[in-house]
Chain A
């Protein structure tokens, strides 16, 4: 697990192709149930093992909001607390179950600057169990352009131009 990070990355310190440090998560039933509880998701596939076996799953499965939480943490562990998430796109490929060792890795795919000077970084994040891709996520995060540059959290709606960003697909390989 990474330690608490109070340092902030700036966009000018990042280049396309940069790799984020890998995060590994030993997944237990507690991991999955706690994630479901924390996201208030009481659907049986996230806590009821017998129900899961009955419907053909290999066990209880990690829910998507919890995966979003891991992704959010992964990005801000790397970029620091000034990193402000703009958007995420998830594609679920395979279930994540107790006993899995989840390996989360990321790569910078694009760095852009909008007309108000906000710097945006697109990161592809893969969550794998062994060689199996469990989920593919693309994250767009705003960072200060330079060290000491404008904190993205200070931007109000009129300077938070998500709608003008290029589609995430264009940042993917």
Chain B
């Protein structure tokens, strides 16, 4: 486990780096297409994809899917990816991809609850079969403590950069969170 910053201001820009466990593959793409009934042939029809996208690609928003750690894996059978305490006591996967920076920062601040208000995504090099993602996550900014109807907490932005095995940028996600503790009634 990385040595984490001890001061809040030192968390801004502090980077978590890791390679994803998953490899981009057709079965996972098909499952995504199944879920949203997407028939775009560049995701599954090799002949069309060869013409348009130089081979089959994954839908642009799938980077986080291929970067999310397995909940359980035979390569680390004693660890579970569980950020919501559904399996209390189970040793946790480290890092919790793709947004370890957010999870770690949330724990640092002691803020228990969190909501996402806005997400921005940018898409660059397409994901191709066989790609493995390298994930970089960090907190880019954090506001002062404030109180609203939910409780008292902070706004922050978590950035996740997804690169392929060649170092090419695939996509960037920016999450605007408000994390808080409920105020005593």
| Chain A residues with a Cβ under 8 A of chain B | 1, 3-6, 31, 34-35, 37-44, 64-66, 68-73, 76-77, 81-82, 84-92, 151, 153-154, 157, 160, 162
Contacts and interface: CB of A to CB of B under 8 A. Distances in A.
Given A41-B68, A81-B42, A153-B52, A91 B35 contact: no
B117 interface: yes
B68 A6 contact: no
Nearest to A48: B86
27 contacts: A5-B39, A6-B48, A34-B31, A35-B35, A39-B35, A42-B71, A43-B83, A65-B61, A65-B65, A69-B38, A69-B62, A70-B36, A72-B59, A73-B40, A76-B38, A77-B40, A81-B41, A82-B52, A84-B123, A92-B117, A153-B42, A153-B54, A153-B126, A154-B54, A157-B125, A157-B168, A162-B124
Most chain A beta-carbon contacts within 10 A, residue among B61, B83, B169: B61
Contacts of B54: 153-154
Nearest to B42: A81
A84 B60 CA distance: 9
A109 to B, nearest CB: 16
A37 B121 contact: no
Nearest to B49: A81
Contacts of B52: 81-82, 151, 153
Given A151-B52, A153-B52, A90 B119 contact: yes
Contacts of B183: none
Interface in B84-103: 84, 86
A153 B54 CA distance: 8
B181 to A, nearest CB: 15
B157 interface: no
Q: Which applies to chain B's interface (DSSP): helix, strand, loop or mixed?
A: mixed
B14 interface: no
Given A4-B39, A69-B35, A157 B169 contact: yes
Given A81-B52, A151-B52, A69 B83 contact: no
Contacts of A1: 37
B116 A34 contact: no
B118 interface: yes
B122 interface: yes
Query: Top 9 A-B pairs ranked by shortest CB distance?
Result: A68-B61, A4-B39, A38-B35, A73-B38, A69-B36, A40-B68, A38-B32, A34-B35, A85-B60
Contact of B64 (A39, A71, A86): A39
B147 interface: no
